[in-house]
């Protein structure tokens, strides 16, 4: 179940090398973590692969999820 209105945003933009800008993943929909949720359960619930889920949630540590954490569940990597 999606817990927020879909919005598109970039997780980060950073300057690289010659001044070019590298854009991170763009998220179109987020999910609010609830007690007992796991990365695998969330991917199954929203029907996406674990690899895609991790690619749109950079730096995510799946064994450290916390209630109320917002995770991207749709977008582009």
With beta carbons less than 8 A apart as the criterion, state whether 48 and 27 touch: no
Q: Give CA angle at 32 (49, 46), nearest 5°.
A: 30
Per-residue pLDDT at 77? 86
pTM check: above 0.75? no
pLDDT value of residue 50: 96
The domain spans of the chain are: 9-76
Report pLDDT for 22. Answer: 55
Q: Which residues of the chain have pLDDT under 70?
A: 1-22
Superfamily of domain 9-76: LysM domain (3.10.350.10)
Concatenating the DSSP letter of every residue in 22-60 gives EE--EEEEEEE--TT--HHHHHHHHT--HHHHHHTSTT-
């Amino acid at each position: 179940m999606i817990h927020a209105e879909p919005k598109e945003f970039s997780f980060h933009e950073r300057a690289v090398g010659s001044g070019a800008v590298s854009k991170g993943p763009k998220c179109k929909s987020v999910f609010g973590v609830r007690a007992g949720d796991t990365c695998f359960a969330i991917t199954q619930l929203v029907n996406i692969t674990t690899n895609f889920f991790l690619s749109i949630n950079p730096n995510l540590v799946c064994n450290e999820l916390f209630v109320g954490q917002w995770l991207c569940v749709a977008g582009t990597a």
